[in-house]
Chain A
Amino acid sequence: MKPTRRDLVAGSGALLAASTLSVPALLGQSRPRVVVVGGGPGGATAAKYLARDSQGGISVTLVEENETYQTCFHSNLYIGGFKRYDEIVHRYDTLASTYGIAIVRSRATQVDRDKSEVVLSDGRRLPYDRLVLSPGIDLNYDSVPGWSQAAEEMMPHGWKPGRQTQLIREKLDAVPDGGTIVMIAPPNPYRCPPGPYERASMFAHVLKETGRAKARIIILDPKESFSKQGVFMPDWERRYGAMIEWLGPKVHDGITSVDPKTGTVVTGFETYANCAFVNVIPAQMAGAIARDAGLAPADGYCTIDPATMKSVVDPTIVVLGDACQAGDMPKSAFSANSQAKVAAMILRGELVGAPTFPARYINTCWSMVDTDDAIKVGGRYEPRDGRIAAVETFISQPGESAEIRRQTQAENLAWYDAICADMFT
């Protein structure tokens, strides 16, 4: 079959799928190779845009250890009963069949920067001309005294997808009326700045809906203030009365320890014994593969060039999403997706001579407060003075009309559909 121009332009699924097998034979080894580690909003988006827009001109390999991608974004909607679990699970099949991306289901254990190779857990090595790392976060299990990886079943974090998300919902369901939930919020910088507070809203929503309005949710925060605080706090009061109590560091005087066996949390000020459920959201850092490659400090994030998303340590490696330090951009799926598009444009310029343009980034974080009630914060960003800086920002206001809040929630749902389509189809 002779491909028509239209097939080439449109990236016909069948053609590209076939070409995954035959292109090396057709073109020899001359196709530049990009290896992407991590199939989340950073990695999946980068892989798709590189493959789609180079129309087969770049060989793209996506290394992902999990068979499916389960989103942390909208996991709070699952916890709140607004989505089924299967609605936040996505597959990589279309990336392979439509765009000819080679999906390698494996864990990358090492980046051999001297040889420009990624080493997989089974010992295989993948050579690259450019490497894209978007491994997300690792949790710092030592950041809360008394808590550990062994305790993450008893005191779940729910800050990584899958079983942890489901555990949060199970523990919530078991809280008795009058019971106490303690959430330990994380220090900056962490994945999804408004996430803990959206989650607390969902806890209150579920408890209220199920006749447990006497339960209390106590948020112990190491931060003096938090994302969208000026909107969340009056909304909690209005929606949930006294159910949610937020305590900053001056009030609780620090977390002294937790005891997972007895469900106890001790602060400088008070002991919360017999908690019905303790949600520990610990400090975070870049995923191991990026730290081990020497691209970030031991417990930190990777510094990038704001114009290209390339590591300042190694210009053959791009670091996207939660694993990088992106200036004014929060760690969000939206940010990772936006950064991936800039990186794909830059890499296509370098590898196949495609036109390049100045970097520009965008983000919006929606948070649900209650049924048909969401708030948002966001902005546009550009490189300025060596960092990614906000050039336009907006935020929801307290006391907005029910109609605006309903519209904001409709946007939130539509955004989820769009970004998942953008990543996976």
Chain B
Amino acid sequence: MLLVASPVEAAGDRALGAYLAAECSACHQISGRSRGGIPPIIGWPEDQFVAVLDAYRSRQRDNPVMQAVAARLSRDEIAALAAYFGALTSKP
């Protein structure tokens, strides 16, 4: 189960983050579990998360799946995702 670790932003951002994050959770488990292949992405500092998505968007990082995911995300959307995933922690 998930706990919301930090106070969330405006309701809109949170709802947007949750909606966009649903697209990611088909591949990245929101529990943070992973057995390789697709890395966990929860609990990251937001600036780092944004930088990595930018790297896929600019095709500096070259996984085609993530490039397709990142290509159509706006700045606001990436920020909402960074806040959403950043606030998730895994429960032991």
Q: Which residues of A contact B (CB under 8 A)?
A: 6, 9-13, 49, 53, 98, 334, 337-338, 341, 345, 354-355, 357, 360, 362, 364, 376, 378-380, 391-394, 407, 409-415, 417-419, 421-422, 425
Least CB separation from B28: chain A residue: A418
Q: How far is the CB of B87 from chain A (nearest CB, A)?
A: 11
Given A9-B4, A355-B12, A414-B27, verify A378-B68 contact (CB < 8 Å): yes
Across the interface, which residues of B come within 8 angstroms of A376, CB to CB?
Answer: 64-65
| B34 and A334 contacting across the interface, CB-CB below 8 Å | no
Q: How far is the CB of A276 from chain B (nearest CB, A)?
A: 35
Give Cα distance in the complex from A421 to B22, angstroms.
12
| A378 and B65 contacting across the interface, CB-CB below 8 Å | yes
Top 4 A-B pairs, shortest CB-CB distance:
A410-B37, A414-B37, A414-B38, A394-B64
Given A418-B25, A421-B31, verify A362-B69 contact (CB < 8 Å): yes
Across the interface, which residues of B come within 8 angstroms of A13, CB to CB?
Answer: 1
| A418 and B4 contacting across the interface, CB-CB below 8 Å | no
Most chain B CB inside 10 Å of its own CB: which residue of A338, A355, A413, A419: A355
| A345 and B26 contacting across the interface, CB-CB below 8 Å | no
Across the interface, which residues of B come within 8 angstroms of A414, CB to CB?
Answer: 27, 34-38
Q: How far is the CB of B17 from chain A (nearest CB, A)?
A: 11
Q: How far is the CB of A114 from chain B (nearest CB, A)?
A: 34
A412 is contacted by which of B20, B28, B37, B67 (Cβ under 8 Å)?
B37
| A415 and B26 contacting across the interface, CB-CB below 8 Å | yes
Least CB separation from A53: chain B residue: B18
Given A6-B3, A10-B3, A418-B29, verify A341-B23 contact (CB < 8 Å): yes
A417 is contacted by which of B16, B20, B33, B65 (Cβ under 8 Å)?
B33
Give Cα distance in the complex from A380 to B11, angstroms.
26
Across the interface, which residues of B come within 8 angstroms of A337, CB to CB?
Answer: 26
> Is the CB of B75 closer than 8 A to any CB of chain A?
no
Give Cα distance in the complex from A27 to B4, angstroms.
26
Q: How far is the CB of A4 from chain B (nearest CB, A)?
A: 12
> Is the CB of B2 closer than 8 A to any CB of chain A?
yes
B22 is contacted by which of A341, A391, A394 (Cβ under 8 Å)?
A341
Across the interface, which residues of B come within 8 angstroms of A98, CB to CB?
Answer: 1
Across the interface, which residues of A come within 8 angstroms of B19, CB to CB?
Answer: 341, 345, 357
> Is the CB of B52 closer than 8 A to any CB of chain A?
no
Q: How far is the CB of A273 from chain B (nearest CB, A)?
A: 44
Q: How far is the CB of B65 from chain A (nearest CB, A)?
A: 6
Give per-residue flags for B43-80: 1 if the beta carbon is below 8 A from chain A beta carbons, else 0. Answer: 00000000000000000000011011101100000000
| A422 and B68 contacting across the interface, CB-CB below 8 Å | no
Q: Count residues of B near A (Cβ-Cβ below 8 Å).
A: 33
Least CB separation from B1: chain A residue: A10
Most chain A CB inside 10 Å of its own CB: which residue of B11, B26, B31: B26
| B36 and A419 contacting across the interface, CB-CB below 8 Å | no
Least CB separation from A397: chain B residue: B64
Q: What are 12 of the A-B contact pairs (CB < 8 Å)? A: A341-B19, A360-B72, A362-B26, A362-B68, A392-B71, A394-B65, A394-B68, A410-B38, A413-B37, A415-B26, A415-B37, A419-B27
A360 is contacted by which of B11, B23, B27, B65 (Cβ under 8 Å)?
B23
| B4 and A10 contacting across the interface, CB-CB below 8 Å | yes
| B3 and A334 contacting across the interface, CB-CB below 8 Å | no
Q: How far is the CB of A380 from chain B (nearest CB, A)?
A: 5
Given A9-B4, A413-B35, verify A392-B68 contact (CB < 8 Å): yes
| B29 and A380 contacting across the interface, CB-CB below 8 Å | no
Give Cα distance in the complex from A404 to B83, angstroms.
31
Across the interface, which residues of B come within 8 angstroms of A411, CB to CB?
Answer: 27, 37-38, 65
Give Cα distance in the complex from A10 to B87, angstroms.
13
Give Cα distance in the complex from A378 to B71, angstroms.
14
Q: How far is the CB of A30 from chain B (nearest CB, A)?
A: 23
Give Cα distance in the complex from A98 to B31, angstroms.
14
B36 is contacted by which of A338, A345, A410 (Cβ under 8 Å)?
A410
Q: How far is the CB of B78 from chain A (nearest CB, A)?
A: 14
Give Cα distance in the complex from A11 to B3, angstroms.
9
Q: How far is the CB of A334 from chain B (nearest CB, A)?
A: 6
| A380 and B26 contacting across the interface, CB-CB below 8 Å | no
Q: How far is the CB of A15 from chain B (nearest CB, A)?
A: 11
Across the interface, which residues of B come within 8 angstroms of A419, CB to CB?
Answer: 26-27
Q: How far is the CB of A51 from chain B (nearest CB, A)?
A: 14
Given A415-B38, A421-B31, verify A380-B2 contact (CB < 8 Å): no
Most chain A CB inside 10 Å of its own CB: which residue of B1, B25, B34, B64: B64
Give Cα distance in the complex from A10 to B3, angstroms.
6
Most chain B CB inside 10 Å of its own CB: which residue of A334, A391, A394, A422: A422
Across the interface, which residues of B come within 8 angstroms of A11, CB to CB?
Answer: 1
